[in-house]
Structure 1
Amino acid sequence: MKPEPAADLVAHLAELEQYALALPGASFDLKWQQCRVVSLENKMFALFLPDSVAYKVAAEDFLALTGLPGVRPAPYLARARWIQVSSLQGLALPDIKAGIAESRKLVLARLPKTLRLYYGA
């Protein structure tokens, strides 16, 4: 599947946000005046900015993903292995959705066992 042109990511941000909010246990919050945050049990797993989306990735995938066009380490969150996607040049929309779902799983894995069981992990 060929990625769409770079400018099209902004057109899909609302769709990506709705996808993230539809994941089990997801909740929404507005932080830092412009960041639309999707969390699981108050642990962030996706950030939506006016022109990009950021989410947590597995440590082993971080370097490979940040080498793609339109993908960079997320400011202030790179040390926790977050990437910021600002275009669809390097990642197609289904790949970003899969990344958001995986980010939720990474956050879920760090929750207490009772909460993991509650969310079916």
Structure 2
Amino acid sequence: MTPAALEKAALALAGAELGIKWGEDRVYSVGGKMFAATDGAATNLSMKVTDIAFEALTETGRAKPALYAARFKWVMFDDLSALEPDEVKDWLKTAHGLVAEKLPKKQRAALGLAG
């Protein structure tokens, strides 16, 4: 997946925003809460995943626990360009949903999110 395709897919999700943090990291958020991030060059990708996906991705070696965020079930892929775009889009939707569902009901409604 290319960095441009990642950005397009992430920002297509309801209420998603892009910000720059920690110098040059590209951070995708919903309601001010992060759901995915890349380094400044967008060579790697970190994101929130389900408990089952965390176990499957880390145990198979496809991803590693994300530094500082593994306890929150975040994984990191070292090479964004080696990932299949459709798979990444699905992961982004899941990551976005996991974070969005924790937002207050009023905030979700203001962002155009269901429920």
Please report the TM-score for the alignment, with normalisation by the length of structure 1.
Answer: 0.81
Instruction: Work out the CA distance in 1 between the residues paired with 2:8 and 2:48.
Output: 18
Aligned to 2:7: 17
**8 Å CA contact 1:37, 1:46 repeated in 2:** yes
Q: Percent sequence identity over matched residues?
A: 35
1:67–1:91 distance in 2 versus 1, CA, 3 Å: farther
Instruction: Work out the CA distance in 1 between the residues paired with 2:78 and 2:4.
Output: 14
Counterpart among 88, 99, 103 of residue 111 in structure 1 = 103
Gaps of 5+ in 1: 1-8
Task: Quote how far apart the aligned CAs of 1:72 are.
Answer: 1.0
1:14–1:90 distance in 2 versus 1, CA, 3 Å: closer
**8 Å CA contact 2:20, 2:26 repeated in 1:** yes
Question: What is the number of residues matched between the two proteins?
Answer: 111
Aligned to 1:120: 114
1:49-75 Cα deviation digits (max 9, x unpaired): 121011100112211111344411111
Superposition misfits of 4+ residues, deviation over 4 angstroms: 88-91
Instruction: Work out the CA distance in 2 between the residues paired with 1:37 and 1:71.
Output: 18
Aligned positions of 1:1-121 closer than 5 A: 9=1, 12-49=2-39, 50=41, 51-87=43-79, 92-117=84-109, 118-121=112-115
Instruction: Work out the CA distance in 2 between the residues paired with 1:33 and 1:48.
Output: 12
Gaps of 5+ in 2: none
Structural RMSD (CA): 2.1
Please report the TM-score for the alignment, with normalisation by the length of structure 2.
Answer: 0.84
